[in-house]
Amino acid sequence: MIYCFLADGFEEIEALATVDVLRRASLQVQTVSVNGTKTVTGSHNIKVEADILSCDIDMRGIECAIYPGGMPGAETLSTGEDKLPGKVAQYCVKNNILVGAICAAPLVLGRLSLLENKKATCYPGFENELKGAECTGDKVTVDGNIVTGRGPGCSLEFAFTLVSILKDERTALEIRKAMQCDD
């Protein structure tokens, strides 16, 4: 299972575009609310009903954990009362399971020292939160089992990269073409 964590103030395009592309690739994705209620409000006041609550996560069989940015969503994923997003990130990195974080959300990984000696990217201005990382400034950066994205405009590229890793490059290219992103 792939889990995409949502906290109030999440960046809608980063979360929903990524989930959409992964589901187009026939990957099993569940959105996870860390608010204690399934209704989560994005940073642009779009309300989304998450598939599950964080207490419903089953760590067995986890294939990937995804952290969208947006504020204060990314901050909540890092420091909120629900510590599960950080625990899942630590578990994934320790067990060589894919982790994706975009925009401000790489701060979740940086604050846990999971980016030490890794290349990563983030929304400009958050580089100091990526402790020990070499910040690339690229749209998407892959280093081992960690994929980071720069911001909202990079959401589709971030999602296609995840598909190419979780499934295969051919599927990512087919979806890219079907979505008219094959310039």
Closest CA to 129 of 83, 180, 69: 69
* Pairwise CA distance, residues 83 & 88, whole Å: 9
The whole-number pLDDT of residue 183 equals: 63
| Sign of the torsion angle spanned by Cα atoms 12, 75, 110, 54 | negative
- The amino acid that residue 73 corresponds to is G
Closest CA to 110 of 82, 144, 86: 86
Residues of the chain with pLDDT under 70: 183
pLDDT digits (tens, 9 = 90+) for 105-125: 999 999 999 999 999 999 999
CATH class entry, domain 2-99+153-177 = alpha beta
* Pairwise CA distance, residues 75 & 27, whole Å: 27
* Pairwise CA distance, residues 5 & 24, whole Å: 19
The whole-number pLDDT of residue 83 equals: 87
